[in-house]
A and B are shown apart, each in its own frame.
Chain A
Amino acid sequence: MTQSLDMLVETPSQTAGPYVHIGCIPTFAGVEGIYPQDLGLSPIEDGAKGQIVTITGSVFDGTGWAMRDAMIESWQADAAGRYAGQEGADPNVSGFCRFAADKDSGQFTLRTVKPGAVANRDGSVMAPHITLWIVARGINIGLHTRLYFEDENNDQDPLLARIEQRHRVDTLLARKTGEGSYHFDIRLQGEGETVFLDI
């Protein structure tokens, strides 16, 4: 026998189910009047510094169907690469947003500031990116991934560098579709499957 490590174990995940909107964005789900407004409606407020960008896309299942029920959370740094709560962070950037696929088209839209490059503990620098967390019925544990921008320099990014099959890097790059607008699809399974993270 040995000593006990005395550690607890993380509570297991369960699917968010089809009604996650009731709990997380009730007004969107039509449950009005409990909260004044949904949490995380926008990651920025007026006066946020930096370039405002609009990102649209869909979450596709393994059959190629744009899911109508996905909910996504995003977490990002401000234009200078600082996260809310860090010293010097832009007070008008909460960095957190909740958004859902449209119930008819399956398309989502995220309007935010383009984040700056982010410094790591070890001094390495990550290319500008937005962390995404996707939940829906049929997803038994929330899926982490990242959105990078194709028009930024992503060559030195430590996470992208770890992707062995280089063509899969493309699954994490938002495509520029115009000035300040990008397109980013998430594919849960199959051809063009998005790189998901255990991080």
Chain B
Amino acid sequence: MSDQKPLMPRRREVHPLPYWPDYKTSVARSPSLPLLSMESTTSEETGPRFGHSTLGPLDNNLIENYTQGAAKAVGERVRLHGRVMDETGRPVAGTLVEIWQANAGGRYRHIKDTYFAPLDPNFGGCGRTITDDAGYYEFMTIRPGAYPWPNRANDWRPMHVHFSIFGPTFGQRLITQCYFQGDPLIDLCPIAATIRDRSQLDRLVAALDMQNSRGMDYLAYKFDIVLRGRRQTMFENRPEGM
């Protein structure tokens, strides 16, 4: 209990609007009443822990993990890496990062995905890893294809990788998406547009990272992630309003 600290309030203005009519599914799935705001409690200041024993050796290699190394997925080889920090700039070490994505043709291995781009028999589409002591993570994967989706008649998702990050407490839980530098579809995407502040959306665009690429092998993209921070407590036992 002694390391428990209140979470910094979420800065809702950097997050997407829940209700965004251009993203049609959000219309009936966004709360219409205000959220109930309150300082975090023990329930948000604790969270599940996942140890390295959870992980298999190929879990962070989406090129090989579906076949357990027997064959490689088709596509442009990409190393996707970065750091997880909190709002105070401290690294978030030992936290679980999970990703999922479409294959190189823009097709997910999912019963509900009926897009006619072919499945890749060697690509499953998910991976996971745990950040190191510096908060660093990396994946080997293929560049996901852009894909059309049923929204407006001609909407396309930019190339993206879905990210799920835990952080040390359940109140820091975050799911987001990583886009790729230079993709012209980002500007046209109604899901990307749910983030109204362009400078905040830019933070979801991974930068091409030639320094960490490897010739004749893979391109690297850098995608850093910031989770909510925890406030250093002062006067925590005083009643409200004091």
Contact = CB atoms under 8 A, between A and B. Distances in A.
Interface of A: 6-24, 26, 29-31, 33-36, 39-40, 61-63, 65, 67, 69, 73, 75, 77, 83-87, 94-96, 103, 118-123, 126, 129, 131, 133, 135-144, 146, 158-159, 162-163, 188-190, 193-199
Main secondary structure of the interface of B (DSSP, over half): loop
A121 B176 contact: no
B216 interface: no
B211 interface: no
Contact of A189 (B31, B56, B112, B227): B31
B66 A140 contact: no
A23 B166 CA distance: 13
B214 interface: no
Contacts of A73: 173
A11 B32 contact: no
Contacts of B228: 10
Contact of B108 (A14, A22, A189): A22
A8 B112 contact: no
B11 A10 contact: yes
Contacts of B192: 14
A84 B16 contact: no
Given A16-B175, A140-B194, A133 B170 contact: yes
B191 A15 contact: yes
B43 A118 contact: yes
B19 to A, nearest CB: 9
Contacts, number: 276
B110 A197 contact: no
Given A8-B226, A33-B68, A36-B56, A23 B164 contact: yes
A99 to B, nearest CB: 14
Interface string B178-206: 00000000000001101100001101100
Interface of B: 1, 4, 6-7, 9-12, 14-18, 20, 23, 25-33, 35-50, 54, 56, 59, 65-66, 68, 85-89, 96, 98-100, 108-113, 124-128, 162, 164, 170-171, 173-177, 191-192, 194-195, 200-201, 203-204, 225-229, 233, 236-237
A19 B42 CA distance: 31
A75 B170 contact: yes
Contacts of B10: 10, 198
B175 A135 contact: yes
A10 B66 CA distance: 32
A139 B50 CA distance: 26
Given A12-B15, A12-B195, A84-B49, A7 B87 contact: yes
